[in-house]
Amino acid sequence: MDTALPPVRPGIGVEEARIDALLRQERERYAASHPRSAELHARGRRAFLYGTPLHWMQLWPGDFPVYMAEASGARLRDVDGHDYVDLCLGDSGSMFGHSHPAIAAAVAAQAARGVTAMLPSETGLWVAEELQRRFALPYWQLATSATDANRFAIRLARMVTGRDKVLVFQGNYHGSVDETQVEFGPDGRMQPRTNVHPNGMDHQRTTRLVEFNDIDALERELAHGDVACVLTEPLMTNVGMVPSTPEYHVALRAATRRHGALLIIDETHTISTGPGGCTRAWNLEPDIFVLGKAIAGGIPCAVYGVTADLARRVWEVKPPVAQGGERRFIHSGFGGTLVGNQLSLAAVRATLEQVMTEANYAHMTELAGRLARHVEAEVARHRLPWHVTHIGARAEYMFTARPPRNGSQAKLGRHGALESLMHLYLLNRGVLITPFHNMVLVCPQATADDVDRHNRVFSECLDALCAEGLQ
């Protein structure tokens, strides 16, 4: 036994009092060093309904969010002049780096040549054909956000199956899609999420909820015969990362087919795994494939693709009133005048053609691995009961000894104060990570030095957390 090492630590492995003391220090340091952000936020509270343009922006640790000045590649500068290595990347929206030169040039050129005409263009056709090739699905449609793409995918599923319910997993996030805003209550029954107003939704009518990686529960819920679709990420990324296995996906696919439910795979985050997402890497067979956020380098856009079989079933469903004559009927309800605008399409084309390349993914994956290996070694050095999950360009450290199997386990492993402390500790030393949990993402422009900056500060943070005696 190596007596130089401290004993394995129980629970989260660090004293609550130390976390609280360090968090106080870091909050004070943050407030003192970000006066301009504080001033702008004070103004924002008088102008924005929830204090920031998007209410989530208030969830950054610290008493106010960082106000950004500019960003490029893997770097972001705030209004107080601090430079950060950005491993948050807009919670995946800028997965391929801020203002990637190829995307910025394509957008600038298109902005001068017409943005919105509600007409198709050859660029759009190029995009659809490239999506066909890359994701092996024959028919594609666009939306302005991943949330909308998921809504439209659910609409298609309901249309063709004639069923009402969407099956989702505990701890899921697929955007602000009303049907998905559910969780298990203390009595083990599905209830509206406590932090989301139910807004008149009757979730008992619209939704079934199951734990991830639990095929028996999935079978039981699908057996009711009222599920139009299962909506899932290949692995969960929004409640902490919850890995899955290829075997699980084989069983999930077989069960959905057997029970006549469609399978929607949402790769909005997991496209960080590789140029074809997990779908290509693991040979998944979704009926509908959804991708948003980074697909246009952060410009609003999302895409969804469907199988030939599903397309045929969609065409067979006649809307109550045909528009545009017998042969050209359309189904309304898939809204968005700005969908398929030329700016977004130019950005998608540049992203697919020049940025989502094998070479870029190899670089991103190598650097995310460098980060994960360091975190793993440091966690082991301090004998902390934590683990790190790494897949492709994404990694996450969580405060449990083993990766969670499902959303409930992941929630139990969360520790708000410790998460906030680590965020602020890194932020105060020039590293941004995702604000909601400790997820990091590496973009193509990041360097080994950028990752090593994270790694150095991470080590310092663990040393401070595990030092003997309170400071």
| CA dist., res. 391 & res. 446, Å (int) | 17
* 304 forms part of the interface with ligand PLP (CB under 6 A): no
* Residue count of the chain: 471
| CA dist., res. 446 & res. 367, Å (int) | 8
Q: Scan for tokens 């050859």, then name that residue.
A: 122
**Neighbouring C-alpha atoms within 13 Å toward the C-beta of 416:** 4
- Report in angstroms how near the CB of residue 436 gets to ligand PLP at its nearest: 9
Cβ neighbours around 108 below 10 Å, total: 11
Packing angle between helix 416-427 and helix 16-33, nearest 10 degrees? 40
User: In the sheet where 207-210 sits, what is the strand order?
Assistant: 139-143, 302-306, 288-291, 262-266, 227-232, 165-169, 207-210
Three-state SS for 399? coil
Please name the residue ranges forming H helices in 264-405.
277-281, 308-316, 342-350, 358-381
- Report in angstroms how near the CB of residue 91 gets to ligand PLP at its nearest: 6
Q: Which is nearer to ligand PLP, 146 or 466 (CB)?
A: 146
Packing angle between helix 448-466 and helix 416-427, nearest 10 degrees? 130
- Report in angstroms how near the CB of residue 176 gets to ligand PLP at its nearest: 7
Q: Which is nearer to ligand PLP, 178 or 233 (CB)?
A: 233
Q: Which is nearer to ligand PLP, 174 or 390 (CB)?
A: 174
* 145 forms part of the interface with ligand PLP (CB under 6 A): yes
Identified binder of ligand PLP from the candidate list 249, 259, 269, 313, rule CB under 6 A: 269
Identified binder of ligand PLP from the candidate list 233, 396, 419, 450, rule CB under 6 A: 233
Give the torsion sign (CA, 19, 21, 23, 26): negative
Identified binder of ligand PLP from the candidate list 181, 213, 268, 341, rule CB under 6 A: 268
* 151 forms part of the interface with ligand PLP (CB under 6 A): no
- Report in angstroms how near the CB of residue 449 gets to ligand PLP at its nearest: 29
Size of the site for ligand PLP (CB under 6 A): 15
Q: Which is nearer to ligand PLP, 110 or 172 (CB)?
A: 172
User: Per-residue x/- marks for ligand PLP, 171-210, CB under 6 A?
Assistant: --xxx-----------------------------------
Residue 133: which region, alpha, beta or left (left: phi > 0; alpha: psi -120 to 50)?
A: alpha
User: Per-residue x/- marks for ligand PLP, 339-378, CB under 6 A?
Assistant: ----------------------------------------
| Segment 284 to 303, residues that bind ligand PLP, using CB under 6 A | 292-293
**Cβ within 8 Å of residue 141, ≥6 positions away:** 152, 303, 304, 305, 306, 334
In this structure, are residues 93 and 57 in contact, taking their beta carbons and an 8 Å threshold? no
In this structure, are residues 262 and 256 in contact, taking their beta carbons and an 8 Å threshold? yes
| CA dist., res. 64 & res. 57, Å (int) | 9
Task: Return the DSSP state at 356.
Answer: S
- Report in angstroms how near the CB of residue 437 gets to ligand PLP at its nearest: 12
Q: Scan for tokens 């969780």, then name that residue.
A: 183
User: Per-residue x/- marks for ligand PLP, 79-118, CB under 6 A?
Assistant: ------------x---------------------------
Instruction: Give the interface segment with ligand PLP, choosing from 22-30, 75-83, 141-149, 420-428 (CB under 6 A).
Output: 141-149
Instruction: Give the interface segment with ligand PLP, choosing from 61-69, 170-178, 329-337, 460-468 (CB under 6 A).
Output: 170-178
- Report in angstroms how near the CB of residue 300 gets to ligand PLP at its nearest: 8
| CA dist., res. 127 & res. 153, Å (int) | 19
- Report in angstroms how near the CB of residue 147 gets to ligand PLP at its nearest: 3
Q: Scan for tokens 């004993």, then name that residue.
A: 7
Q: Taking CB positions, which residue lies at the least distance from ligand PLP?
A: 175
Q: Which is nearer to ligand PLP, 158 or 174 (CB)?
A: 174
Instruction: Give the interface segment with ligand PLP, choosing from 25-33, 52-60, 140-148, 323-331 (CB under 6 A).
Output: 140-148
Phi/psi for 419 (5° steps) reads -60, -45
Instruction: Give the interface segment with ligand PLP, choosing from 79-87, 118-126, 169-177, 184-192 (CB under 6 A).
Output: 169-177
Closest listed residue to residue 437, CA positions, set 413, 457, 466: 413
Binding site for ligand PLP (CB under 6 A): 91, 145-147, 150, 173-175, 233, 238, 266, 268-269, 292-293
